[in-house]
Every structure is written in structure tokens, then in C-alpha cells.
Amino acid sequence: MSVLSFFNDVFDQTATEASRLAHHNNRHMSSSKEIQTAVRLLLDGKLSKHAVSEGKKAVFNYTSPL
């Protein structure tokens, strides 16, 4: 249960930080730029680079046609 709690906490912190960044930039919704910046702020060096890279790949695979 602790691993699930960890992932929920990280997701919640990322969403909160992305929301703050969007508000700071006078936007109503968080874009991928705010989410990537939030991940880079919350996670350490290599881990944040890996997370952003995997996130980009996942979005590309999701939006690309079959």
C-alpha cells in the first residue's frame, strides 16, 4: 500500500505545482510545459529527465494514429 501512496503523493504534488505555475503565467489550464517544469522541480536530476522523456514518449504514442 505504501508504493501506491507514494505514487498518489507524487502525482498530487506534480498537479499542485503545475497548477501554481499555470496560475503564475496567467493561464486557466496546465499545459505540458507546466507539467514538465513541475516534474523537473519535484524530482532529482536523472529521475526528472527520465520521467519527462518517458512522458513525452507516452503522449506521442497516445496521440499518434494507429
Coil, strand, or helix at residue 34? Answer: helix
**If one looks up domain 2-63 in CATH, what number appears?**
1.10.20.10
Mean pLDDT of the chain: 93
pLDDT value of position 34: 94
Q: Which residue has the cell 507524487?
A: 10
Counting residues of the chain whose pLDDT is more than 70, the rounded percentage is 98
The model's pTM is 0.81
Domain boundaries, the chain: 2-63
Average of pLDDT values for 10-22?
A: 95
Residue 43 gets the label, from left (phi > 0), alpha (psi -120 to 50) or beta, of beta
